[in-house]
Amino acid sequence: MTSATTSPADLAGEMRLPRRSAPLKPLFDGAEWDFALINRVYDAMGDIALGEMGLDIYPNQIEVITAEQMLDAYSSIGMPLMYRHWSFGKRFAYDEAAYRKGHRSLAFEIVINSNPCINYIMEENSMTMQALVVAHAAYGHNHFFKNNNQFQQHTQADHIIDYLSFAKTFVADCEDRFGQEAVELTLDAAHALMNQGVSRNMKIRARDPAKREFQREMARRDYEEQTYDVLNRTLPQINRGEPISPASAAQLGSSAAEQRKLGLPEENLLYFLEKNAPKLADWQRELLRIVRSLSQYFYPQRQTKLMNEGCATFVHYEIMNRLYERGQLTDGSMLEFLHSHSSVVFQPSFNDRRYSGMNPYALGFAMMRDIQRICIEPTDEDRAWFPAFAGNNDPFGTLREAWANYRDESFVLQYLSPKVMRDFHLFALRDEAKDPAVRITAIHDEQGYRDVRRRLSRSYDVATQDPDLQITDADLSGSRRLVVTHTVRNGIVLDKGECERTLQHLARLWGYRVRLIEVDGESGRVLKEHEVLPMP
């Protein structure tokens, strides 16, 4: 959670201190904090979050860190452990420069989807901020991680830390054995294809991957050692792909049968390369696998940014307000909290200099508060739009259901109400390449609600943000050429320079010629072709 640089006045109009239902018996007063106090506050919040709101969380582990350690954590994509790579150093240098210059403030907290759930909090925070952060991360994000089906399907919270630790040692080990440069070449290439390293429809097996990897690796080494032969070493290297007899090679070609055998078309480029690239050594395949697993791990986070932050923001708002009502927060703390909260959920207009896209905190929080309102005091409009839950008087149950079963795209499509669209003054635009102007296609009015909602929902679909790339042909017996097809939507082809540099990486992994065809999704016309050879 970072706070936008805004004045609290932006939302102050609608913020009013709630009424207290119990005499003031504050948990803390002032900015100072210690471990025992955080523990007490955590327990008090547990009453509300687990008892009243019915949240279901992984056990928490709260770790106190310094600003410098926070920067460290940034550079390793927020993970407590990470293998070494120069790009993380670049990130660190960049973040550090921005932080030192004061361009950017640090996040108050980082939370990791693991079991137990690891929450980093900063030592500089005041006690009120620590309380906010604990409510936000240790209850809000934690509940979302544990219950959202995207996370349940694609990630294994129990094993991620072990897996990272395996990855780190494995990469370090490879660096020792094969040299930093060689490892870097493979990792660079794998990173370039990271977004194409996700299997969108795969369910992962619930076994301990770190242990499994470790055993696989050990088994492979044992095999190498057992079969090591000084004489064999002098023979020319044979690729261990598939030994193909000339006869079968002739009849195979790149037939449908072979394609089926390779599982083509394949959307997960890294997976395909790991399994089928002819020239890769085993350790290189393992590196691809590591990068692919990380990509898979982060995939749900990309799909649920809005919901995840919305859920956490809603939970912290609810908890802090309930604490206040129970007389456990002082007025001063409450005002400090409201200040931070309102700058976090601030949404600048599109023509504002501060605008940098939809603020997921703002929209997510507004939608969830709205669902709460619809459950408790629906208007006629709400009854018409949301007959399923309007007035059911069970806001937390309704929200838990939404948190568990939706991702950003479907959540917006299902739950965005006319009221929120009006509040945000949402409007839809269409930008056509040949048109010199951008056209307004729908606004927040009776005719436009559904249109605006549908288009906003589309923009949250990760599949529309990433290009649709698939491996469609791989000729393993003949020219060994790999063919990747980009299905172009709306005439948006790939960025040329980036595409060619990335293809170079792809070709390095594949080891032979790679061709990329951009085909228009509707007409099937070939729009562009790129072809690269691996550089020696």
Partner 1 sequence: MQIVDRRLNPKSKSLGNRQRFLRRAKAEIREAVKDAIKSRKVSEIDGGEKVTIRSKNLREPSFGLGRGIGNRDFVLPGNEQYKVGDAIPKPPNGGGGGKGREGSADGEGQDEFSFVLSRDEFLDLFFDDLKLPNLVKVKLKDLKVSKPARAGFSADGSPARLNHVRTMRNSLGRRIALRRPTEAEIKALEDELAAAEGRSPLDEAVVAELARQLEHKRRMRKTIAFIDPLDLRYNRFERVPKPTTQAVMFCLMDASASMTESLKDLAKRFFMLLHLFLTRHYREVHIVFIRHTSTAATVDEETFFRGTETGGTVISSALDEMLRVVKQSYSPADWNIYAAQASDGDNFHDDMPRCMQLLSKEILPVCQYFAYIETAHGERYSDTLETQVWSGYSELEDTASANFAMRRVTSPEDIFPVFRDLFSASGMAAA
Q: Binding to partner 1 (CB under 8 A): which residues in 177-196?
A: 180, 184, 188, 191-196
Stretch that binds partner 1, among 254-262, 319-327, 378-386, 430-438 (CB under 8 A): 430-438
The yes or no reply on residue 530 touching partner 1 (CB under 8 A) is: no
Residue placing its CB nearer to partner 1 in the complex, 18 or 491? 491
The yes or no reply on residue 497 touching partner 1 (CB under 8 A) is: yes
Residue 203 Cβ vs partner 1, minimum distance, rounded to whole Å: 25
The yes or no reply on residue 424 touching partner 1 (CB under 8 A) is: yes
- Identify the residue among 429, 463, 526, 533 touching partner 1 (CB under 8 A): 429
The yes or no reply on residue 4 touching partner 1 (CB under 8 A) is: no
State which of positions 15-74 bind partner 1 (CB under 8 A).
Answer: 35, 38-39, 42-43, 59-66, 68-69, 72
Residue 265 Cβ vs partner 1, minimum distance, rounded to whole Å: 16
Residue 137 Cβ vs partner 1, minimum distance, rounded to whole Å: 12
State which of positions 440-469 bind partner 1 (CB under 8 A).
Answer: 440-444, 447-448, 452, 455-456, 458-459, 465-467, 469
Residue placing its CB nearer to partner 1 in the complex, 236 or 357? 357
Find out whether 418 and 381 touch, Cβ atoms under 8 Å: yes
Q: Using CA atoms, how far apart are residues 88 and 438, in angstroms rounded to an integer?
A: 38
491: left (phi over 0), alpha (psi -120 to 50) or beta: left
Q: Using CA atoms, how far apart are residues 266 and 280, in angstroms rounded to an integer?
A: 19
Q: Using CA atoms, how far apart are residues 219 and 81, in angstroms rounded to an integer?
A: 25
Residue 313 Cβ vs partner 1, minimum distance, rounded to whole Å: 17
- Identify the residue among 95, 309, 318, 370 touching partner 1 (CB under 8 A): 95
Residue placing its CB nearer to partner 1 in the complex, 41 or 334? 41
- Identify the residue among 222, 498, 522, 529 touching partner 1 (CB under 8 A): 498
The yes or no reply on residue 78 touching partner 1 (CB under 8 A) is: no
Binding mask 212-241 for partner 1 (x = CB under 8 A): ------------------------------
Residue placing its CB nearer to partner 1 in the complex, 224 or 432? 432
Q: Using CA atoms, how far apart are residues 79 and 402, in angstroms rounded to an integer?
A: 27
Residue placing its CB nearer to partner 1 in the complex, 49 or 474? 49
The yes or no reply on residue 491 touching partner 1 (CB under 8 A) is: yes
The yes or no reply on residue 479 touching partner 1 (CB under 8 A) is: no
Torsion of CA 516, 521, 523, 524, to 10 degrees: 30
Residue placing its CB nearer to partner 1 in the complex, 388 or 433? 433
State which of positions 160-179 bind partner 1 (CB under 8 A).
Answer: none
Q: What is the DSSP letter of 196?
A: G
Look at the alpha carbons of 244, 246, 248, 252 in this order and tell me if their dihedral is positive or negative. positive
The neighbour count for residue 534, using CB atoms within 10 Å, is 17
Written in H, E and C, the secondary structure of 303-340 is HCHHHHHHHHHHHHHHHHHHHHHCCCCCHHHHHHHHHH
Tokens of 60: 């928490």
The yes or no reply on residue 354 touching partner 1 (CB under 8 A) is: no
Residue 242 Cβ vs partner 1, minimum distance, rounded to whole Å: 29
Q: What residue type is 355 in one-letter code? A: Y
Stretch that binds partner 1, among 87-95, 303-311, 318-326, 373-381 (CB under 8 A): 87-95
The two most distant CA atoms of the chain are separated, in Å, by 89
Residue placing its CB nearer to partner 1 in the complex, 63 or 377? 63
Stretch that binds partner 1, among 18-26, 92-100, 376-384, 386-394 (CB under 8 A): 92-100
Residue 491 Cβ vs partner 1, minimum distance, rounded to whole Å: 4
**Distant-in-sequence, close-in-space partners of 85: CB < 8 Å, separation ≥ 6:** 171, 184, 187, 191
Angle at alpha carbon of residue 233, lines to 231 and 235, rounded to 5°: 85
The neighbour count for residue 497, using CB atoms within 10 Å, is 8
State which of positions 132-151 bind partner 1 (CB under 8 A).
Answer: 138
Residue 65 Cβ vs partner 1, minimum distance, rounded to whole Å: 5
Tokens of 535: 């550089």
State which of positions 319-348 bind partner 1 (CB under 8 A).
Answer: 347-348
What long-range pairs does 43-50 form, CB within 8 A, spacing at least 24?
44/323, 44/328, 45/131, 45/134, 45/135, 45/139, 45/319, 45/323, 46/139, 48/318, 48/319, 48/322, 48/323, 49/135, 49/139, 49/143, 49/315, 49/319
**First and final C-alpha spacing in the chain:** 45
The yes or no reply on residue 476 touching partner 1 (CB under 8 A) is: no
- Identify the residue among 234, 245, 349, 523 touching partner 1 (CB under 8 A): 349
Residue 67 Cβ vs partner 1, minimum distance, rounded to whole Å: 10
The yes or no reply on residue 384 touching partner 1 (CB under 8 A) is: no
Q: Using CA atoms, how far apart are residues 475 and 84, in angstroms rounded to an integer?
A: 35
Q: Using CA atoms, how far apart are residues 366 and 377, in angstroms rounded to an integer?
A: 16
- Report the relative pairing of strands 526-532 and 60-65 from DSSP bridges: unpaired
The yes or no reply on residue 508 touching partner 1 (CB under 8 A) is: no
